[in-house]
Structure 1
């Protein structure tokens, strides 16, 4: 695996971990997969992007691949697009949007971390 330590990767890593506010356990349960990422029986399979997020959450920064960096940017883009200019009250009542966000590890109802 390639080691990526550039300032851009550091910033991407930090931003990814800001927008992904669910733990790997919470995301695994939400997606309905076993700890080994095997789908549990159900009507539909887990979101592929969510599975990629789970994989990244289990890695160290130094173990990221080029594909991981692409996934991380995509997750950031999805979360920012879905939450920008949306009042918190609207996000809390839009179950469809909340489910899309939770499929990539972002629970819009979770209080934001203070810096």
Structure 2
């Protein structure tokens, strides 16, 4: 597992880039994967990563697993990489925003 200082920094960075609350993310995952032509929603709709982010948001730092830490690094890296592309015209748009929101980051929300 990660050392305490590194884990503290990751925890803070994860909660900075994941700017949606657990309630907002849960609603988003349900609505994102629901539609007129889709099957009824399961108990845990959304991507596995989105569901894992939601689970992490509902945990205390002391309850994190190695898998949680891996997902947190993945989410931080993905969101930061997307931020670097924000001024590139072909990366702006609804699809990009929806993909990031599945990770708990709404790019339209002020940092």
Across the two proteins, how many residue pairs are aligned to each other?
A: 101
**Normalising by the residue count of structure 2, what TM-score does the alignment of the two structures yield?**
0.80
Deviation per CA, 1:57-111, whole angstroms, max 9, x where unpaired? 00000000100000000000111111214139887x5111001100000000001
Which fold has the larger relative contact order, with Cα–Cα distance below 8 Å and residues 6 or more apart in sequence?
A: 2
Residue of structure 2 equivalent to 1:20: 18
Structure 1 residues 88, 108: closer, same or farther in 2, change over 3 A? farther
TM-score by length of 1: 0.78
Pairs within 5 Å for 1:22-37: 22-32=20-30
Structure 1: runs of 5+ lacking an equivalent? 34-39
Structure 1 runs (4+) greater than 4 angstroms displaced: 88-91
**Residue matched to 1:72:** 72
Structure 2 alignment gaps of length 5 or more: 32-38
Q: Per-residue displacement from partner, 1:44-68 (whole Å, max 9, x unpaired)?
A: x511111000000000000001000
CA RMSD of aligned residues (A): 2.5
